[in-house]
């Protein structure tokens, strides 16, 4: 069963990803975050390692706050090919 993730929540809703039941997630897995902003999981891992994307660690799980992902995606970022 795959969860539908929207880029932005409905107007007036919490800034979280939309679930089929109309409830909202506050945190996303690395896979969900990668799918949401159309990058690979490895790219998400690199962003986390470079402290460009904040995370919350709960046990062994690494979760990305939805608000942080939206904020990150709204800004321009340097690429690795800057000379």
Under 8 Å between Cβ of 38 and 45: no
Whole-structure pTM value = 0.65
Q: Give mean pLDDT, residues 51-66.
A: 95
What contacts 25, CB < 8 A, 6 or more positions away?
Answer: 16, 17, 19, 32, 66
- Predicted confidence band of residue 36 (pLDDT cuts 50, 70, 90): very high
| Distance in angstroms (rounded) separating the CA atoms of residues 25 and 68 | 13
Q: Is the pLDDT of residue 25 over 50?
A: yes
Q: Show the domains of the chain with their CATH numbers.
A: 17-73 (1.10.1660)
């Amino acid at each position: 069963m795959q969860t539908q993730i929207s880029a932005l929540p409905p107007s007036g809703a919490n800034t979280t990803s939309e679930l089929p039941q109309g409830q909202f997630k506050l945190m996303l897995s690395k896979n969900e975050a990668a799918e949401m902003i159309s990058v690979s999981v490895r790219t998400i891992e690199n962003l986390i390692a470079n402290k460009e994307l904040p995370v919350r660690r709960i046990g062994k799980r690494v979760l990305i706050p939805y608000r942080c992902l939206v904020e990150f995606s709204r800004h321009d970022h340097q690429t690795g090919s800057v000379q």
